[in-house]
Amino acid sequence: MSQEHLLHQAIQRHIKTVGTPDIVIANAGVSTGTLSGEREDLVTFKRVMDINLYGVMHTFLPFMQAFKKRKSGQLVGIASVAGIRGLPGSGAYSTSKAALMNYLESLRIEMLPFNIQVTTIAPGYIKTPMTHSNPYAMPFILEVDKAVSLFMKAIDRKEKFIIIPWQMNIVGKLMRLLPAFVWDFLAKRGPKKLRAMI
Ligand SMILES: NC(=O)c1ccc[n+]([C@@H]2O[C@H](COP(=O)([O-])OP(=O)(O)OC[C@H]3O[C@@H](n4cnc5c(N)ncnc54)[C@H](OP(=O)(O)O)[C@@H]3O)[C@@H](O)[C@H]2O)c1
């Protein structure tokens, strides 16, 4: 039986025994350095997409059916500032979070008739095992407690899309506006995640 099928069954069992929750947060994700032009990194690329994009879809789907029936609920996806522009050395992660943000945006609009809210949270850096071994400076990095409290506020306010913290919101907005040649100039000098297979 596939992992997706097992997850679907576990969620359905949960709904049957505990009831339909008000909020579902799809937080699981992985990050590793990859080189987008290297054939041997394709397996890692697919695995990152599988967890960071399809993992969220498979998590939401069974809850969505219950939310639609009830005509209420909130789905929360954890994206990343890394999804705003293509990051050299982190192509897989960056692509997965960009795809996730677009998926969540499509979903948000599709869910409007069912009174289901979709919240996208795009954090900057947070002190977790994911960033523990990053060999570069991480501006505006948040302690986990602070990040959680900002996440909770955003979820409570039913934000549609939010970049956390506010300093990263400014960075993220600027990143979006930069023309390709400026982005290339800055990004090629930027920090690179350590390349590793997962
Ligand atoms: N830390 C940051 O700076 C940062 C910044 C932006 C966005 N984010 C996003 O925030 C989310 C949480 O990341 P984190 O910083 O807490 O990273 P983390 O410390 O590495 O934790 C990752 C979490 O994802 C779970 N996970 C990974 N692969 C999974 C799989 N195949 N199936 C089920 N669960 C899986 C892990 O479960 P196990 O412990 O059981 O392996 C763990 O709970 C991720 O989506 C990440 O992309 C993090």
Torsion angle in degrees (nearest 10) through CA of 118, 155, 127, 103 = 0
Evaluate whether residue 129 is within a structural domain: yes
If you measure from the C-alpha of residue 111 to the centroid of ligand 1, how many angstroms do you get, rounded to a whole number? Answer: 26
Give the rounded percent of residues in the chain with a pLDDT score beyond 90.
Answer: 91
- Give yes or no for residue 31 CB within 6 A of ligand 1: yes
Mean pLDDT along residues 53-82: 97
Q: What is the largest CA-CA distance in the chain?
A: 55
Q: Which residues have a catalytic role annotated?
A: 93
- What's the pLDDT at 193? 86
Could you tell me how far CA 90 lies from the centroid of its own chain? Answer: 14
Evaluate whether residue 38 is within a structural domain: yes
Evaluate whether residue 164 is within a structural domain: yes
- What's the pLDDT at 3? 87
Residue range 86-120, pLDDT digits in tens:
999 999 999 999 999 999 999 999 999 999 999 99
Q: Is 194 in contact with 34 (CB distance < 8 Å)?
A: no
- What's the pLDDT at 135? 86
| pLDDT higher than threshold 70 for residue 161 | yes
Evaluate whether residue 197 is within a structural domain: no
Evaluate whether residue 2 is within a structural domain: no
Q: How many domains does the chain have?
A: 1
Task: Check which CATH number belongs to the domain holding 43 and give it.
Answer: 3.40.50.720
Evaluate whether residue 34 is within a structural domain: yes
Evaluate whether residue 4 is within a structural domain: no
Mean pLDDT along residues 7-33: 96
Evaluate whether residue 14 is within a structural domain: no
75: which 2 tokens?
A: 């789905």
Closest residue by Cα to atom 45, ligand 1, is 29
Closest residue by Cα to atom 7, ligand 1, is 80
Mean pLDDT along residues 179-190: 95
| pLDDT higher than threshold 80 for residue 2 | no
| pLDDT higher than threshold 80 for residue 1 | no
Categorize the per-residue pLDDT at 192 as very low, low, confident or very high, splitting at 50, 70 and 90: confident
Global pTM value = 0.96
For residue 83, give its domain range: 19-187
Q: Choose among 119, 128, 131, 138: nearest CA to 190.
A: 138
Residue range 142-160, pLDDT digits in tens:
999 999 999 999 999 999 9
